[in-house]
Copies of this chain bind each other. A is one copy, B any other.
Amino acid sequence: MPRGRSATYADQHEAILAHAAELFAARGYPGTSMNEVATACGLTKPALYHYVRDKEALLLQICQQHIARLQALVASVQAQGLSGEAQLRALILAFVRAYADAQGEHRVLTEDVRFLGEAERSVVLDGQRQVVAAFAEAVAQVRPALAAASLHKPLTMLLFGMINWMFTWLQPDGPLTHDDMAPVVADLFVGGLLALQTPALQAST
C-alpha cells in the first residue's frame, strides 16, 4: 500500500468505534471519559479528537453502524422468501447469533440512545422501529388472530426482551453459547405463540 493514509484513517476510526462501544457498554456513556476511550485506543485525547468530532458523535456512529447491520440482517433473511413460521425462526436465529459478535454495540444501542440529542435519537429509533416491524410482521403471519387483537407488537417486544437481555447473563466464555441458545429462544417463542389462546387474552382486559 503506497498510499496508506486513508486506509489507516478508516481503520483507526473503526478501531475507535469498537473500543468506545466496549467502554460505553461496560461503564455507561456518561460514566466513560474521552480520556478512557483515547487510552483504550492507544491515543492521546487530542489525537482521538482528530478522528471524532465529539463524544456524542462517537455514540451516534456506534448506534448507526449497529442498527445498519441489524437492518441488513433483516433484509437478508427476508430475501430468502421463507414462509411465516420459518421466517420468524430465521429472524430469531440470525439476531441471537449476530448479538454474540456485537454485544457491546448492542448494549450501547439499547441503553445509551437516550443520551443522544433529540434529532439524532429519533433517527436511531426509526431504524429500530423498522427492525421491530419486520419481526412483528412475521409474528402476525404465524398467528393472524394476535394481530387482530393488536397483540403482535407487544409479543414481539417480549421476544426482543428475551434476546436483548441475554447479554446480562450469557457469558461469552461460558459453557452455554449464543449458538446454543438461539434455537431454544426460537422454540420457546414460537411454541408459546402457537399455544396462545386469543379469547383468553381478550378476556383478561
What are some 29 contacts across the A-B interface (CB < 8 A)? A28-B31, A28-B115, A29-B31, A31-B115, A111-B111, A154-B170, A154-B181, A155-B184, A157-B168, A157-B169, A158-B162, A158-B166, A158-B184, A158-B185, A160-B165, A161-B161, A161-B163, A161-B165, A162-B165, A164-B165, A165-B165, A179-B204, A183-B204, A187-B192, A188-B193, A188-B195, A190-B192, A191-B192, A192-B193
Closest-CB distance, A156 to chain B (whole angstroms):
9
In this complex, which of A192, A200, A204 has the most chain B Cβ atoms within 10 angstroms of its Cβ?
A192
B184 touches A154 (CB 8 A): yes
Q: Which of B27, B158, B184, B190 contacts A201 (CB 8 A)?
A: B184
Chain A, residues 133-164, CB within 8 Å of chain B (1/0): the string is: 00000000000000000010011011111111
Closest-CB distance, A192 to chain B (whole angstroms):
3
Assuming A28-B31, A191-B196, A192-B191, is B201 touching A183 (CB within 8 A)? yes
**What is the oligomeric copy number?**
2
Please tell me the size bucket of the interface on A. 35 or more
Which residues between 9 and 61 of chain A lie within 8 Å of chain B, taking CB atoms? 26-31
Chain A, residues 70-103, CB within 8 Å of chain B (1/0): the string is: 0000000000000000000000000000000000
Question: Cβ of A180 < 8 Å from any Cβ of B?
Answer: yes
Q: Known contacts A164-B165, A191-B191, A192-B193; can you find 12 more A-B pairs with CB under 8 A? A: A27-B114, A28-B31, A110-B168, A111-B111, A154-B184, A158-B166, A161-B161, A162-B162, A180-B204, A187-B196, A188-B192, A191-B192
Question: Cβ of A8 < 8 Å from any Cβ of B?
Answer: no
- Residues of B close to A130: CB separation below 8 A: none
Complex: A163 Cα to B168 Cα, angstroms: 14
- Residues of B close to A119: CB separation below 8 A: none
